[in-house]
Chain A
Amino acid sequence: MAAQTHEAHRHTEHRIWDPDAETLPRDGIEALQLERLRELVTRVARVPFYRDHFAHREIGPHSIRSLADVRRLPLTTKDDLRRQHPFGFLAVPRKALARIHGSSGTTGRPTFVAYTARDLETWSNLCARFLVAGGLRPEHTAQVAFGYGLFTGGFGLHYGIERVGAAIIPAAAGNTRRQIEIMRDLDPEVLICTPSYALTIADSARELGIDPRSLPIRYGHFGGEPWTEDMRREIEDQLDIAAFNNYGLSEVIGPGVSGECPERTGMHIQEDHFLIECLDPETLEPVPEGEPGELVITTLTREAMPLIRYRTRDIARLYREPCDCGRRTTRMSRVTGRTDDMLIIRGVNVFPSQIEEALLRVEGTTPHYLIEVSRPGTLDEVHVKVEIRPELFSDRMDRMQALCERISREIHTVAGIRAHVDLVEPRSIERFVGKAKRVLDRRNLGE
């Protein structure tokens, strides 16, 4: 059914919001990027962090002769941003600012992100691009169930939808029952939120005795947290919609860095605004095309807070061959992990997304899970808590134990670790309206 929805979608929706930029041939994209990179090197000289670095190494626009020369420029990390808190990275006077957002603070103290009026203009257009690629039309109504506030998700998508000319229901995140009432009253075609919140909405609908597939939503744009292809299938099946992935991060601009077209073979990176590298997180050398690495992004056009070679910590792959949709931009895979939430368990690198992939291979396993890592003695121990669902439950103990073993086997296959599987009661794992927290690492407590 979901496949049919997707197919139907594909035949009717193949438009490009900004054809000049999105279908630029490879050499055109690269020429534009080079010109903008050289100009950026001049602009960031206002930022002490970059000015000092450039002065030390005698770097200037003359140092950038080809795009590969970007590697002569310094990397910027989240810690660098924190050290210059709040506005050490501003490249324009305070009075030129039009908006200030904050990063979500998932991994520590939040950082502020500033925008000029032109930055907001750019941002709206970037969001409009992926929204239109996924099917948004001026006659549609979109329900935005992202948090509004310092978080970039809500406003970014809001202005993108407005730019396309569609109607917006700024429902914001939370109050899930009300989200469902709104859907039933106002018939929006589009849902915009985190993928985990989409599943929470489906859960909540069932609790209210409403078939989530009967809700009016036809497709959704989901982002703000890493998710898997299996989770996409869950969302599409449970809500009977087509689900599209988009990517962005607040330090760089917010949503709109990249997004899927109906081909769904990766997210198109808006390369006229972002120069993207994919590096080995250890050696910081570029990885071969198609190999996983850390995305490092240079903002080519941001005025208020341009960043050079920002280490996103997100692991993904890049593909440069042209897409059948007509766009010529480089595509990125979904984010498969983060260098900073990568767990090292008995020497094995494990990403929470791998555990999720394993869980979703076991039919009927709920997407609600929690990974607990501890070190009771000298060795790490992993417990994966999985909520039981009626279709998984049997009155026979042997079947229940077989279920635990099967999940454990899948985790071993996908992630290469032995994990204890703890079946827990329904709704005993915390629900999230924004980014889901899937890992509880108790190993560092008290250290």
Chain B
Amino acid sequence: MKLQQLSLFLENRPGRLGAPLETIAKAGINILTLSLADTAQFGILRLIVREWDKAKQVLDDAGWVVNLTEVVAVDVLDRPGGLAEALAVLEGAGLNIEYMYAFSVRRGDKAILIFRFEDPDRAIQVLLEKGLHVVDGDELLSVVSC
């Protein structure tokens, strides 16, 4: 049920985002979604790609500091309050969200969100118990075209 997310260290200066993206592009890897967290001085680029192991390898080889994190993809209704309802569930269960970002595709009336939890296994259990839909890797990859 968990997805592998690549996280990459970047210096916050012009041109730094392009270089690693070019590296994975050259390896023929498409990005399904990404998020960039930054401070004035450095940034953390988080990527979801289909071939995460190959992407990690080419980024490692190119000298980037990159690690793998398990994240959880959750379907929420794409209407006002959809996300708030999901968050209420998580809050009710005392689950701490480290960070979250939206997936770039919609499925019908659903939007997909990516969550980073302190304890992803427990988060998945709670989400399922509360009737939320956790999107697993194969399912996610089947809805995106490349």
Contacts and interface: CB of A to CB of B under 8 A. Distances in A.
Interface of A: 388-390, 393-397, 400-401, 422-428
Contacts of A395: 5, 7, 44, 46, 67, 69, 116
B11 interface: yes
Given A390-B67, A397-B99, A422 B37 contact: no
Interface in B1-35: 5, 7, 9-11, 16
Contacts of B98: 396
Contacts of B145: none
Nearest to A404: B41
A425 B8 CA distance: 10
Contacts of B64: 425-426
A393 B46 contact: no
Contacts of A422: 41-42
Nearest to B46: A395
Interface residues of B, number: 21
A397 B12 CA distance: 14
Contacts, number: 50
26 contacts: A388-B9, A388-B65, A389-B65, A390-B65, A390-B67, A393-B7, A393-B67, A394-B7, A395-B5, A395-B46, A395-B67, A396-B116, A397-B37, A397-B99, A400-B42, A400-B44, A422-B42, A423-B11, A423-B41, A423-B42, A424-B42, A425-B11, A425-B16, A425-B65, A426-B63, A428-B11
Contacts of A400: 42, 44
Contacts of B69: 395
A59 to B, nearest CB: 59
B48 to A, nearest CB: 12
Given A388-B65, A422-B41, A425-B65, 8 more contacts: A388-B9, A389-B65, A390-B65, A395-B67, A422-B42, A423-B11, A425-B11, A426-B64
Main DSSP-derived SS at the A contact region: loop
B39 interface: yes
Counting from the closest, the 8 A-B pairs by CB-CB distance are A395-B7, A395-B69, A393-B65, A388-B9, A388-B65, A397-B37, A423-B42, A393-B9
A425 B46 CA distance: 16
Nearest to A392: B65
B11 A396 contact: no
B95 to A, nearest CB: 16
A401 B38 CA distance: 11
Main DSSP-derived SS at the B contact region: strand
Given A423-B42, A425-B9, A396 B65 contact: no
Contact of A427 (B5, B11, B63, B67): B63
Nearest to A423: B42
Nearest to A420: B41
Interface of B: 5, 7, 9-11, 16, 37, 39, 41-42, 44, 46, 63-67, 69, 98-99, 116
A205 to B, nearest CB: 15
A428 B42 CA distance: 14
B9 A397 contact: no
Contacts of B16: 425
Contacts of A425: 9-11, 16, 64-65
Contacts of B63: 426-427
A369 to B, nearest CB: 15
B97 to A, nearest CB: 11
Contacts of A428: 11
Contacts of B37: 397
A423 B41 CA distance: 8
A113 B39 CA distance: 51
Nearest to A207: B63
Nearest to B118: A396
Nearest to B41: A422
Nearest to B6: A395
Nearest to A427: B63
A387 to B, nearest CB: 9
A400 B7 CA distance: 12
Given A424-B11, A425-B65, A397 B44 contact: yes
A335 B10 CA distance: 36
A424 B43 CA distance: 10
A335 B98 CA distance: 46
B46 to A, nearest CB: 6
Nearest to A425: B11
Given A397-B39, A397-B99, A401-B39, A426 B65 contact: yes
A389 B66 CA distance: 9
Contacts of B116: 395-396
A426 B10 CA distance: 10
A423 B40 CA distance: 11
Contacts of A397: 37, 39, 44, 99
A208 to B, nearest CB: 12
Contacts of A401: 39
Contacts of A390: 65-67
B61 to A, nearest CB: 10
Nearest to A390: B65
**Residue among A390, A423, A425 with max Cβ neighbours from chain B (10 Å):** A425
Contacts of A393: 7, 9, 65-67
